[in-house]
Amino acid sequence: MGEVRGRSHTSHLPSPTCSFRESLQTTGPTLKIAVCIKRVPDMDVRFKIAPSGKAVDETGLKFDISDFDGYAVEAALQIKEKANAGEVAVISLGGDVVQETLRKAMSMGVDRAVQLKHDGAPVDSYAIATALAAELKDGGYDLIMFGRMSIDTAHGAVGAMVAELLGLPCVTAISKLEFEGTTAKMRRELEGAYELVECPLPAVVTIDEGIARPRYPSLKGIMAAKKKPLETKPAQLPEQRLALDAMALPAERSAGRIIGEGPAVVPELVRLLKEEAKVL
Amino acid sequence: MSANVLAFAESRSGDLRRAALEAVTAARTIADASGGEVHAVLFGAPGVGKHAAALGAHGADKVLVVEHAGFTHNNPEAVAGTIAARMGSGYRAFVCAASATGKDIAPRVAAKLKVPVASDLIAFEVKGAAIVATHPGYTGKVLQTLSLTATPAVLSVRPGAFLPKENAKAGASEALAPAGDPAASRVKVTETAAGNAAKLDLGEAPVIISGGRGLKEAGNFKLVEDLAAAFGNAAVGATRAVTDDGWRPHADQIGQTGRLVSPDLYVACGISGAIQHLAGMRTSKTIVAINKDKEAPIFKVADYGIVGDALEILPVLTEAVKKAKASG
Ligand SMILES: Cc1cc2nc3c(=O)[nH]c(=O)nc-3n(C[C@H](O)[C@H](O)[C@H](O)COP(=O)(O)OP(=O)(O)OC[C@H]3O[C@@H](n4cnc5c(N)ncnc54)[C@H](O)[C@@H]3O)c2cc1C
Ligand SMILES: Nc1ncnc2c1ncn2[C@@H]1O[C@H](COP(=O)(O)O)[C@@H](O)[C@H]1O
């Protein structure tokens, strides 16, 4: 690799382009892992606001595991495969539609699933974290994984809050994870820098992109998932003190303008940047 | 409950970050609306207290300095524990920037105080007992209006949304003892690898020159760097296609799963304009696109588009910018 700015390569951890699989150098520990996953719409669309003014119009939307949660599921499966032992459970809080999301995770290889049933779309991260923590508390998990943030409500809060509620150490937005005995060794990306972090297990981690690309379920996986246990329990949500009052689409940018072709238009561009946009 | 606001004065390796000044500026708006003071809390190794003056100049009435060798690297457990303990003495709100560090601290503090957090806000106002805030969700495609009725309110503000404003206040510093022993934290940061000191951070640069797969190979990023150097106040960004291929570090990625930026000028070179990329840069004030395909979606958001070969156009543009800069 050529010049890579803003990052030294003296560390024992591999560069962020390596896959998670490569970054686990030793045979991993046997862990009981829980991954909290959220069902979100596919973002690759132009959203419309529902008549209530408080939600997106779900007509025609496709739903899947929130992006970072998918990376977390994949990372958890790789840890289990590496040890050839252990267990991966997924938990989702939501209406019955989340059962489809939980089955998808099981078709990727997850062993079992729990739905914390709640209709409606809570936005209060503390309330969500409280309900998840109640379920996780006595689960005997060595590692509890979250996405760095959910891609729809995007507060990036639930993982660290669950850790606080359970009194567990927490490292957020990690892009690398390996183990030395019962110590987790991680890397977090900062703006133009990174940190190497360690903490003892049991622990909570939230997963950034780059750690592992989620696999596609195989046909065999899809068949197997139908027989795996999916438990449904009511979610215990406390009172919510963060409410969603309204949703709106951001103002559209004015339509783009092509000013011309080839290097000959550069002087015109520079004039516009100077006189019209005033950025030069 | 007092009307005072606690702002997180983020530092890294002893340097004060712009995020600190943005947090103070945002905190000031709440304090002014409720007639309170802004207290900035600054953590670091002994010596970090020297930044109190800068915080005062931007609107901190008081700077709480927590100096301890255990804060040489970020120490999220001890930082959050100390902030939560201090908040217990009565504050209206805690405000930090939604930087990598701020987003790590805010939910820890909120959970300790048993309140939710409203993250990554681009605007807010105090309405009686509530704080009503604008929060971008759905990869920036939807703006949500949130009302936060919990007190204290825990907020993080999107980098760039609250520009640091000079607003001289006393800024007198006061030592604050860490709550508990910082050396006893279970989470240990063993190394902070600083970026190249000369490199402007993507979140802070007024100009961003970004390259995509259309640049053909890693070596051609030299052309992008040359243009950034000609501007002098520019950082270099990239698409995921490029960071995946290892042409650029992951930290340079702009988009849904990378950095969210809103510079004054964003120049997209050989970038198709996939929605995941647009999600990270569509709020830039002025967008220039150079792409050889006139149907490329990037042209739909570009204020100024040039159809053509970026490898040919970039050197000409670099020379023209140098000239324009030289002539003032
Ligand atoms: C879940 C998910 C998350 C993602 N997150 C991100 C993200 O955060 N950021 C991101 O950027 N992408 C992200 N992507 C990827 C995104 O969908 C696109 O694949 C990516 O942005 C494309 O990068 P590109 O524009 O460099 O490459 P391409 O799409 O291959 O475009 C290259 C462009 O260069 C033009 N070109 C070719 N040669 C020249 C030349 N000589 N001169 C000028 N122009 C030329 C071509 O016309 C083309 O438009 C994500 C995708 C997914 C599925
Ligand atoms: N309803 C939910 N069910 C399960 N996990 C969730 C839910 N909401 C959030 N999470 C988890 O918490 C992470 C952070 O979410 P957020 O704080 O909303 O950005 C997500 O990536 C998920 O791992």
* CATH code for the domain of B65: 3.40.50.620
Q: Per-residue confidence at B283, pLDDT binned at 50, 70, 90?
A: confident
Looking at chain A, which residue has its C-alpha nearest residue B309? Answer: A262
Which pLDDT value is given to residue B328?
63
Residue B296 CA, closest ligand 1 atom number: 49
Partner-chain contact B104 A266, CB within 8 Å: no
Average pLDDT (B202-210) is 89
Tokens of residue B151, six digits? 């007190």
Tokens of residue B127, six digits? 């309405």
Partner-chain contact A261 B144, CB within 8 Å: no
8 Å CB contact between B24 and B60: yes
A219 at the B interface (CB within 8 A)? Answer: no
Q: Does residue B115 belong to any structural domain of this protein?
A: yes
Do both B247 and B296 map to the same domain? yes
B39: nearest Cα among B101, B87, B111: B87
Q: Per-residue confidence at A19, pLDDT binned at 50, 70, 90?
A: very low
Q: Does residue B157 belong to any structural domain of this protein?
A: yes
Q: Which residues of B touch A256 (CB under 8 A)?
A: 289, 299-303, 305
Do both B174 and B89 map to the same domain? yes
Do both B288 and B166 map to the same domain? no
Instruction: Looking at the complex, report in whole angstroms how far the Cα of residue B171 sits from the nearest Cα belonging to chain A.
Output: 27
Q: Does residue A248 belong to any structural domain of this protein?
A: no
Looking at chain A, which residue has its C-alpha nearest residue B116? Answer: A126
Partner-chain contact A156 B120, CB within 8 Å: yes
Q: Which residues of A touch B117 (CB under 8 A)?
A: 125-126, 155, 157, 161
How many domains in chain B?
2
CATH number at residue B307: 3.40.50.1220
Average pLDDT (A194-219) is 93
Q: What are φ and ψ of residue B161, in 5° steps?
A: -80, -30
Q: Is residue B280's pLDDT more than 60?
A: yes
Do both B171 and B40 map to the same domain? yes
8 Å CB contact between A187 and A45: no
Do both B240 and B314 map to the same domain? yes
Q: Does residue A66 belong to any structural domain of this protein?
A: yes
For residue A208, give the ligand nearest its CA: 2
Q: Is the shortest distance between the CB of A202 and ligand 2 below 6 Å?
A: no
Q: Identify which of A33, A104, A150, A240 to mutate to test ligand 2's pocket (most ligand atoms within 8 A of the CB).
A: A150
pLDDT for B77-135, tens place per residue? 999 999 999 999 899 999 999 999 999 999 999 999 999 999 999 999 999 889 999 99
Q: Is residue B195's pLDDT more than 90?
A: no
Which pLDDT value is given to residue A161?
98
Strands A230-234 and A203-207, by their bridges, are unpaired
Residue A158 CA, closest ligand 2 atom number: 17
Q: Identify which of B141, B239, B292, B295 to mutate to test ligand 1's pocket (most ligand atoms within 8 A of the CB).
A: B239
Q: Does residue A191 belong to any structural domain of this protein?
A: yes
Q: Does residue B201 belong to any structural domain of this protein?
A: no
Q: Is residue A11's pLDDT more than 90?
A: no
Q: Does residue B239 belong to any structural domain of this protein?
A: yes
| Residue nearest atom 30 of ligand 1, based on CA coordinates | B213
Question: How much of chain A exceeds pLDDT 70, in percent?
Answer: 91
Strands B172-175 and A258-261, by their bridges, are unpaired
Q: Which residues of B touch A241 (CB under 8 A)?
A: 115-116, 148-150
| Residue of higher predicted confidence among A156 and B279 | A156
Q: Per-residue confidence at A22, pLDDT binned at 50, 70, 90?
A: very low
Q: Does residue B202 belong to any structural domain of this protein?
A: no
Q: Which residues pair with B192 in a beta bridge?
A: A195
A245 at the B interface (CB within 8 A)? Answer: yes
A227 at the B interface (CB within 8 A)? Answer: no
Q: Does residue B299 belong to any structural domain of this protein?
A: yes
Which pLDDT value is given to residue B97?
95
Cα(A25)–Cα(B321) distance, integer angstroms: 48
Q: Does residue A251 belong to any structural domain of this protein?
A: no
pLDDT for A228-277, tens place per residue? 999 999 999 999 999 999 999 988 777 789 999 999 999 999 999 999 99
Q: Does residue A89 belong to any structural domain of this protein?
A: yes
Compare CB distances from B250 to A46, A189, A254 and report the shortest one's residue.
A189
Compare CB distances from A6 to B249, B285, B300 and report the shortest one's residue.
B249
pLDDT for B160-177, tens place per residue? 788 888 999 999 999 999
A14 at the B interface (CB within 8 A)? Answer: no
Residue A156 CA, closest ligand 2 atom number: 19
Q: Which amino acid is at B185?
A: S
Q: Does residue A257 belong to any structural domain of this protein?
A: no
Report the range of poorest mean pLDDT among A14-23, A28-37, A146-155, A243-252: A14-23
Average pLDDT (A131-157) is 97
Do both B13 and B159 map to the same domain? yes
| Residue of higher predicted confidence among A14 and B281 | B281
Partner-chain contact B312 A243, CB within 8 Å: no
Which pLDDT value is given to residue B258?
84
Only one residue has tokens 């650029």, namely: B248
Question: How much of chain B exceeds pLDDT 70, in percent?
Answer: 98
pLDDT for A73-104, tens place per residue? 999 999 999 999 999 999 999 999 999 999 99
How many other CB atoms are found less than 10 A from the CB of residue A123? Answer: 21
Q: Does residue B192 belong to any structural domain of this protein?
A: no
Partner-chain contact B305 A257, CB within 8 Å: yes
Q: Per-residue confidence at B199, pLDDT binned at 50, 70, 90?
A: low
Interface test with B, best of A130, A170, A183, A272 (most B CBs within 10 A): A170
Average pLDDT (B242-246) is 92
For residue A95, give the ligand nearest its CA: 2
Tell me: cis bond preceding B152? Omega within 30 of 0 counts. Answer: yes
8 Å CB contact between A268 and B313: no
Looking at chain A, which residue has its C-alpha nearest residue B250? Answer: A16
Looking at chain A, which residue has its C-alpha nearest residue B107? Answer: A157
DSSP label at residue B327: T
Q: Does residue A247 belong to any structural domain of this protein?
A: no
A249 at the B interface (CB within 8 A)? Answer: yes
Do both B16 and B126 map to the same domain? yes
pTM (whole model) above 0.80: yes
8 Å CB contact between B272 and B278: no
Which pLDDT value is given to residue A196?
96
Do both B93 and B236 map to the same domain? no
Cα(A53)–Cα(A247) distance, integer angstroms: 6
Sheet holding B188-193, edge to edge: A230-234, A112-117, A87-94, A32-36, A143-147, A203-207, A170-180, A183-190, A193-200, B188-193
Only one residue has tokens 């689409």, namely: A249
Cα(B59)–Cα(A218) distance, integer angstroms: 57
Average pLDDT (B18-28) is 95
Tell me: cis bond preceding A202? Omega within 30 of 0 counts. Answer: yes
Q: Is the shortest distance between the CB of A126 and ligand 2 below 6 Å?
A: no
Q: Identify which of A65, A119, A146, A240 to mutate to test ligand 2's pocket (most ligand atoms within 8 A of the CB).
A: A146
Domain that holds residue B314: 207-327
Which pLDDT value is given to residue A18?
37
Do both B230 and B322 map to the same domain? yes
Q: Does residue A279 belong to any structural domain of this protein?
A: no
How many domains in chain A?
1
Q: Is residue B279's pLDDT more than 90?
A: no
Question: How much of chain A exceeds pLDDT 90, in percent?
Answer: 79
Domain that holds residue A228: 4-234
Average pLDDT (A17-32) is 61
Do both B156 and B211 map to the same domain? no
CATH number at residue A158: 3.40.50.620
